[in-house]
């Protein structure tokens, strides 16, 4: 059996890294493709080097930016690439346009499709990721659900593929690279002794002037200084809506360029808490080596396990409610968080590789 792996964004690289490392250690034949979906292709390739991953068998440089055109472009490129690799199983992770394009291409080429991090649901149709993850799950033959909650979502929807609960590979990645992250010198660039680590990039947040204006007000008015790497999409919208100077002129806001994985891990570990609209950070915050509370600037989450275990509080995007939630989180710092993550014990990648080997060739009939 030869595996084909497709990754498109930096979070996908991070979550697939533990699986790739195990495949290499066990000398299992695989090739992987980098679609280059991310806004900064060079930074994505630097991520590969930072995480000690081999060079991709193929890389794509996408020209289109609209979702439909991007998916079509990826499929057009992937068809001959995957055919030439002569793989029998396609392994994908997550819910981006790249993963939807890869899944559909794999189905049309007659490959088994295995989906890592299957079954997440926000039930918020405004999120492009919600469309993608639902479609990917329903065309996949093997579904690796990170938690029993996500597995139940899949069985409730009567997906045709086989469902397995494995844990989330993001916890594996945090454990795998925590020691190396200490080599980062990012803390020398932080002018605060105590700070909140923030990220902001969701389309439904930054593309809406009214919402972005409220969230910028949160960043400048909260009672603790903020350190925030600035996503290029967010940076463009801040300039478009005349909000950029409000952030840069605030002495309590430290803006940084996009960061590497080691820098991000170290900033999360040293922060007072995390303020974000990200999905992955909700999971990483629960890792035993990080264990930070998260204030989520969204009205819904596809990671309810992080909420139920006390790590995440969903604050919405109204300024007053987000500030109130932040103050409550700061006031609850004396209440201890769990020492284990609801997303597993850091052995998800091993389980996934074992299941791939045991399930190879056992295709579930379509329909």
Structural domains for the chain = 3-167+346-359 (3.40.50.2000), 185-331 (3.40.50.2000)
Residue partners of 303: CB distance under 8 A and separation at least 6: 120, 279, 282, 283, 312
β partners of residue 196: 226
Q: What is the pTM of this model?
A: 0.93
* Sequential pLDDT tens for the chain (367 residues): 689 999 988 899 999 999 999 999 999 999 999 997 655 556 677 788 889 999 899 988 887 778 899 999 999 999 999 999 989 999 999 999 999 999 999 999 999 999 999 999 999 888 889 999 999 999 999 999 999 999 999 999 999 999 999 999 999 999 999 888 778 999 999 999 999 999 999 989 999 999 999 999 999 999 999 999 999 889 999 999 999 999 999 999 999 999 999 999 999 999 999 999 999 999 999 999 999 999 999 999 999 999 999 999 999 999 999 999 999 999 886 678 999 999 999 999 999 999 999 987 555 444 3
Catalytically annotated residues: 201
What is the distance between the alpha carbons of residues 215 and 47, in angstroms, rounded to a whole number? 29
What span, in angstroms and rounded, lies between the C-alpha atoms of 153 and 156? Answer: 5
Chain-centre distance of CA 190, in angstroms?
25
Of 340, 214, 362, nearest to 277 (Cα)? 214
- The beta strands (E) that lie in the chain are given as 3-7, 30-34, 58-59, 89-93, 112-116, 142-145, 162-165, 196-198, 226-229, 253-256, 274-276, 294-296, 312-314
Number of neighbouring beta carbons within 10 Å of residue 367: 4
| The residue to which tokens 């992937």 are assigned | 78
Q: How many CB atoms lie within 10 A of CB 288?
A: 16
Question: How far apart (Å, rounded) are the C-alpha atoms in residues 91 and 16?
Answer: 9
Q: What is the DSSP letter of 107?
A: H
Which tokens belong to 11? Answer: 């979070």
């Amino acid at each position: 059996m030869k595996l084909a792996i497709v990754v498109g964004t930096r979070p996908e690289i991070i979550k697939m890294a533990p699986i790739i490392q195990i495949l290499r250690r066990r000398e299992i034949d695989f090739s992987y493709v980098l679609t280059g979906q991310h806004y900064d292709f060079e930074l994505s390739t630097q991520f590969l080097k930072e995480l000690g991953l081999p060079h991709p068998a193929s890389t794509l440089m996408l020209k289109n930016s609209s979702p439909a055109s991007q998916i079509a472009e990826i499929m057009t490129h992937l068809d001959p690439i995957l055919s030439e690799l002569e793989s029998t199983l396609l392994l994908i992770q997550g819910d981006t346009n790249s993963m939807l394009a890869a899944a559909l291409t794999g189905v049309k080429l007659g490959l088994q499709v295995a989906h890592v991090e299957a079954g997440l649901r926000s039930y918020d149709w405004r999120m492009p990721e919600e469309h993608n993850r639902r479609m990917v799950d329903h065309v996949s033959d093997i579904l690796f659900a990170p938690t029993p909650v996500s597995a139940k979502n899949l069985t409730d929807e009567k997906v045709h593929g086989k469902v397995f609960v494995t844990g989330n590979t993001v916890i594996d990645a945090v454990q795998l690279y925590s020691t190396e992250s200490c080599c980062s010198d990012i803390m020398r660039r932080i002018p605060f002794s105590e700070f909140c680590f923030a990220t902001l990039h969701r389309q439904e947040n930054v593309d809406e002037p009214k919402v972005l204006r409220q969230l910028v007000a949160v960043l400048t008015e909260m009672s603790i200084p903020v350190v925030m790497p600035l996503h290029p999409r967010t940076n463009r919208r801040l300039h478009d809506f005349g909000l950029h100077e409000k952030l840069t002129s605030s002495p309590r806001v430290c803006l940084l360029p996009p960061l590497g994985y080691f820098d991000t891990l170290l900033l999360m570990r040293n922060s007072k808490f995390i303020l974000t609209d990200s999905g992955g950070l909700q999971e990483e915050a629960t890792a035993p080596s990080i264990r930070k509370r998260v204030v989520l600037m969204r009205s819904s989450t596809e990671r309810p396990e992080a909420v139920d275990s006390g790590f995440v509080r969903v604050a919405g995007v109204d300024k007053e409610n987000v500030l109130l939630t932040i103050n409550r989180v700061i006031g609850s710092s004396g209440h201890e968080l769990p020492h284990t993550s609801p997303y597993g014990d850091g052995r998800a990648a091993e389980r996934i590789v074992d299941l791939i080997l045991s399930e190879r060739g056992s295709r579930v009939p379509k329909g």
